[in-house]
Structure 1
Amino acid sequence: MGDKSKVFTKQEVASHNDSSSAYIILEDKIYDVTKFLSEHPGGEQALLDLAGQDATSSFHDVGHSSDAWKMAEEYVVGQLKTSEEEGVKEKTRSPECCLGQCFLGQWREIVISPTWSNFLIPLGISLLVYFSYKGVKELF
């Protein structure tokens, strides 16, 4: 869809902020999501709220699947221009991040995610009740 090598400024993207023309920025790529508005599983409004803006953190916060990333590639229309006034943009992961730190960070995110919390808390309580019952049973 469109010329993927076109370069947009943040001001140009900001002008595409309604249902007739909705662009979002994801990791310095520009996506024209106008045709996807009615198909978005989270509803049209979720995209319109971020139209004309950088939606990278919101996209990650929702926890989109790898399939969502692949699907999004269909809507790429260009790249974000980074000007010298804005400075050098930092990468998501710094080169200093060693494998162990990144690995632990990923596991920490997995463990504290609602899915795992909803599983681990009842499991912990169940184990506590089980061992308490087993200990009381041995006393009598």
Structure 2
Amino acid sequence: MEQEIKLFTREELKSRNTREDAILIIHNGVYDVTKFLEEHPGGEEVLLERAGQDGTDPFEDVSHSSDARSLMQQYKIGELVEADRTQNKTAFPQQWSNDTPRELGNAWSSWVVPLALALAATLLYRYLFA
């Protein structure tokens, strides 16, 4: 038998923003992060700052790992009602993973810039102390 998903409105969640009752909305899912506040690597303040509200954009801005995305599933208590859902096309979907291979352009720049700086420092050192 399938478990029924509990639905919430934004209005009923907006007052759930305290240390004793902290709720976040991320990608239209509703998460009770009260027990996670002290464990959050970024500190409880960042969670409490968005408690009772939609935290999708800040969540994606930090680029949480696939492990963090898996961990958050244990805190999910429901979803937003259809009328309150957002279609955030700029955020990555929940299945996104920062463990995906980088594009070739990014791979080049990740070692070319430090190499160029090291070469410039070497030449400057030889010029000044020759």
TM-score by length of 2: 0.68
Q: Percent identity?
A: 40
From 90, 99, 115, the counterpart of 1:123: 115
Q: Summarize the alignment of residues 40-119 of structure 1 with structure 2, pairs less than 5 Å apart.
A: 40-83=40-83, 89-90=86-87, 92=89, 107=103, 111=106, 119=111
Cα RMSD of the aligned pairs, angstroms, is 3.1
TM-score by length of 1: 0.64
Q: Secondary structure at the match of 1:123?
A: helix
The structure in which a higher percent of residues are helix is 1
Q: Summarize the alignment of residues 11-50 of structure 1 with structure 2, pairs less than 5 Å apart.
A: 11-50=11-50
Q: Note the residue ranges of structure 2 that are not aligned, 5 or more in a row.
A: 91-101, 124-130
Q: Note the residue ranges of structure 1 that are not aligned, 5 or more in a row.
A: 94-105, 133-140
C-alpha displacement of 1:57: 1.1
Q: Secondary structure at the match of 1:60?
A: helix
Q: How many residues align?
A: 109
Q: Distance in 1 between matches of 2:89 and 2:118?
A: 39
Q: Distance in 2 between matches of 1:71 and 1:7?
A: 21
